[in-house]
Structure 1
Amino acid sequence: MSEVTNIKLKYGNDYHTVSVPTKNIMDIIIPEDLPGVPDQMEEVRRALREPIESEPLSVLAKGKENVVILCSDITRPSPSYLLVPPILEELNTAGVTDDKITVVFGLGYHRPHTEEEKKKLIGEEVYRRVKCIDHDRNNCVYLGQSSRGTPIWVFEPVAKTDLIIGTANLEFHYKAGYSGGDKALMPGVCSKETIQANHVMMIRPGTMPGKADGNPMREDIEEIGRIAGVKFIVNPVLNSNKEIVKCVAGHPVKAHREGCKYIDMMYKRSIPEKADIVICCPGGHPKDINLYQAQKGFENASYAVKDGGIIILFAKCGEMLGEKTFEDWMFRATSVDDPVNWIQEEFVLGAHKAVVICLVLQKKKAYLISDIPDDITRKCFFEPAKSVEEALEKALAKMGPEAKILVMPYANSTLPFVEE
């Protein structure tokens, strides 16, 4: 009997112990949170006092008659209520009064906010002090084209302002490398046409989480930000408890890259080579509430497995697929190539997750252990299995008894990479 290593993996709200042959384990990789700062608003003030590759905001804002602060919408964990008050202090110091300042919530493709939601996002006091409005995709001004051919349509109040300040928390983005930086403007406050043209780049080489430079989607976003005139950013880095561990401010690209180093420190993990088999667990509820959410860990795992290799996804998915458009595309597809082809004809939000899954499945095989019925699992191009051990037995039969196995117990927040 060969020796096994028992590993605890979270499935919904429960833990399951899975047994993996010890001799095959290449590594078990987990993220490591940095501690939150003692005073979060003071950390934002410190970042504003020490801007990266930029003049201080109080200098940039001198003489400005119309200033816009871009903030994330309700679907993002960005703590705008901590970021905006210190920004207002800087603007007031520069002589910009509250009546010359507008907070614009970047909705991208999402629904408008209620007034209560705006208050919650920004804080009651700021909501009373300055004008707070939602971006409107249908009220945009044309500013030209990016070098990659993206038509640039920006929300009119943003396009016609003297100074644009972008805010958002930093985290991995499934295709644009990272959130934050110029993403506050694109897709935040752009038209549907602009967002679609940029998002179609998701199928191009170099678009992936944890990669900013040399990523066509991110580079297009930053060119659009430059053309539209984003001058200054304030981006906090949050740990998994949503506490600020570091805040960066200043130049939209240089400050952004500095902040990304802290994301990498917590969530990027170096591996010596790609594995034959990756056991991937999103990390339990709510990360595995449905396949739409669990996809994030599945994609992260794909960067650790060889082409022709196997991913074993252990995700409860009690709410099944979790998103109507995603489900429609998966059920309609007759092969993994279909969604990848369809998205090039028209970018559809929600369907993009079907595309990301299918891009992985074009090159790797996958087993899914979940609450999703077997016939639906197969419709999504996964092979169903009753347990991780059953899937592993089949995977080892395919990949050989010496196959190297990597385990990712918190795959949604762990990004593996092979050092070049």
Structure 2
Amino acid sequence: MKHGGPFELAFGRGLLKLALPQGAEPTVIRKALLPKLFDASSAIASAFANPIGSEPLARLVVGRRSACILICDITRPVPNRLFLRVMIETMIKGGIPADRIDVLVATGLHRPNEGVELEELVGDPWVLKTVRVTNHFARNEHDHVDLGHTQTRGTPIRINRLFADADLRIATGLVEPHFMAGWSGGRKVVAPGVAGHETIRTFHSARFMEDPLSVQCNLVGNPLHEEQLQIVRKVGEIYALNTVLDEDRDLVCVTFGEIIASHLAAVDFIADTTMIDVPRRFKTVVTSSAGYPLDKTYYQTIKGMVTPIDILDPGGTLIIASECSEGLGSHEFRQAQARLVEMGPEPFLATLTAKTLADIDEWQTEMQLKPMRVGKIQLYTTGLDREERRITGVELVPSVNDAIAASLERHGDPAVAIIPEGPYVIPIYRRAGL
């Protein structure tokens, strides 16, 4: 944390500069600084050669007939350009034919990434020319294998056939706080990443979403995490490459190995630098949706509303800036938002609690209820039309600076918390001395 300027928020592909009113008392909350891996290629090579809980990659590929590599979709800024080629080259050198190697975009129930966007996501033309790169479609029933149900909660296990049937399975991703599953990456790239819609919609039903342990940075007793672990064990042998980035989107940590062990190692690395103790709550909190690519839609923006609520004083004001360059989100999400605005928060929630399978994308609307229960939510955006703005269900503001000034005056408190990187930082309220 710091108290001096300049004050900026991540917004789109740039920064939104803040001009605070005279007398404001700002506290900037951001991740602790971590040393960059300036030789990223060497760090990745070392991770492959010195894995966690498995043999080195060069040995893993020997004798395999096929391979499937999972990559996250465009909503995660994973540096695929740094590792995909070397991973594939190692596979080919080890005897796996290039035409038996698939790179599968783990979209979950998000839209596919195609054309120029897919080129940006993969980050290396050689990869696109050498192997198949395809998107996962959770609604295509015939694309999935049925692996039964989890033992604890009976979640149906439907996994993309390309991944389930591959001789060598590798998930790649970014480890960062996730507002339901605790942390992203690892097992989450498999489910919901390449799971069927039934699996995903079960995860996002109210019995999981409203569980008090389904929160950011928590894996202990988290029902989503526990189900994900059961699913990856059911699939069988899976390995993972996990990356951690700093605010500049530069690599600061990379781990490789058995999917559960290597993911936990990355979580251990990042946890203390991401969860920031804050000795007070604030009546005015200003945050972002972490800029591009996370702030492309209002759907993703809700993550930035949820993560700081522990430091929002009840009845306070949370101001979030998000470009929303692609608008609101999916058709199903628009429908859920319209129902929220029409019905109101409590009646809307009541319609969800009896469902075994959530309607597609309505879970993000359900998550929006959490900050709305604490205080007033205000949104600054440049990317929504009039109807989309109406069904956000929050108050739209034309200026972040004016909204800050009005909030400070309204609450009679000059203190303001500023979280430039939005949901990538988790402020935790802890009174001094505790």
Q: TM-score, normalization: structure 2?
A: 0.79
Shift of 1:162: 2.4
- Identify unmatched segments of 5+ residues in structure 1: none
Cα gap change, 1:328 to 1:46, in 2 (>3 Å): same
Shift of 1:358: 0.8
**Which stretch of structure 1 is more off in the superposition, 125-134 or 239-248?**
125-134
Shift of 1:193: 0.8
In 1, Cα distance between the equivalents of 2:136 and 2:60? Answer: 24
The C-alpha deviation readout for 1:80-106, integer Å capped at 9, x for no partner, is: 332222323443454444344332222
Alignment-derived partner of residue 179 in structure 1? 184
Alignment-derived partner of residue 160 in structure 2? 155
Q: Give the residue type in structure 2 aligned to 1:281.
A: T
1:255 and 2:262 correspond: yes
> How many corresponding residue pairs?
407
The one of 227, 231, 242 equivalent to 1:224 is 231
Cα gap change, 1:190 to 1:373, in 2 (>3 Å): closer
Superposed, which structure 2 residues align to 1:128-207 within 5 Å? 128-137=129-138, 138=140, 139-146=143-150, 147-200=152-205, 201-207=208-214
Alignment-derived partner of residue 77 in structure 2? 77
- Asked whether the equivalents of residues 68 and 158 of structure 1 are also in contact (C-alpha less than 8 Å), the reply is yes
Alignment-derived partner of residue 370 in structure 2? 359
In 1, Cα distance between the equivalents of 2:47 and 2:180? Answer: 27
- SS of the residue corresponding to residue 198 of structure 2 reads helix
In 2, Cα distance between the equivalents of 1:259 and 1:160? Answer: 27
Cα gap change, 1:244 to 1:342, in 2 (>3 Å): farther
In 2, Cα distance between the equivalents of 1:92 and 1:230? Answer: 20
In 2, Cα distance between the equivalents of 1:262 and 1:45? Answer: 19
The one of 325, 338, 345 equivalent to 1:336 is 345
- Asked whether the equivalents of residues 30 and 421 of structure 2 are also in contact (C-alpha less than 8 Å), the reply is yes
- Asked whether the equivalents of residues 312 and 392 of structure 1 are also in contact (C-alpha less than 8 Å), the reply is no
In 2, Cα distance between the equivalents of 1:93 and 1:122? Answer: 22
In 1, Cα distance between the equivalents of 2:158 and 2:290? Answer: 40
- Asked whether the equivalents of residues 177 and 216 of structure 2 are also in contact (C-alpha less than 8 Å), the reply is yes
Alignment-derived partner of residue 311 in structure 1? 317
- Asked whether the equivalents of residues 71 and 167 of structure 1 are also in contact (C-alpha less than 8 Å), the reply is yes
Superposed, which structure 2 residues align to 1:107-122 within 5 Å? 107-114=107-114, 118=118, 121=122
Alignment-derived partner of residue 368 in structure 1? 378
- Asked whether the equivalents of residues 67 and 167 of structure 2 are also in contact (C-alpha less than 8 Å), the reply is yes
- Asked whether the equivalents of residues 371 and 377 of structure 2 are also in contact (C-alpha less than 8 Å), the reply is no
Alignment-derived partner of residue 126 in structure 1? 127
The one of 287, 305, 308 equivalent to 1:281 is 287
Shift of 1:178: 1.8
Q: CA RMSD in A?
A: 3.6
Q: Give the residue type in structure 1 aligned to 2:79.
A: P
Alignment-derived partner of residue 392 in structure 1? 408
- Asked whether the equivalents of residues 304 and 320 of structure 2 are also in contact (C-alpha less than 8 Å), the reply is no
The C-alpha deviation readout for 1:220-241, integer Å capped at 9, x for no partner, is: 1122111112421111212233
- SS of the residue corresponding to residue 154 of structure 1 reads strand
In 2, Cα distance between the equivalents of 1:96 and 1:320? Answer: 39
Q: Give the residue type in structure 2 aligned to 1:37.
A: L
- Over the matched positions of the two proteins, sequence identity in percent amounts to 24
Shift of 1:145: 0.6
In 1, Cα distance between the equivalents of 2:4 and 2:159? Answer: 54
In 1, Cα distance between the equivalents of 2:115 and 2:291? Answer: 30
Q: Give the residue type in structure 1 aligned to 2:328.
A: G
- Asked whether the equivalents of residues 37 and 251 of structure 2 are also in contact (C-alpha less than 8 Å), the reply is yes
Shift of 1:116: 6.1
- Identify unmatched segments of 5+ residues in structure 2: none
- Asked whether the equivalents of residues 270 and 416 of structure 1 are also in contact (C-alpha less than 8 Å), the reply is yes
- Asked whether the equivalents of residues 77 and 174 of structure 2 are also in contact (C-alpha less than 8 Å), the reply is yes
Pick the structure with greater CA Rg.
1
In 2, Cα distance between the equivalents of 1:340 and 1:365? Answer: 17
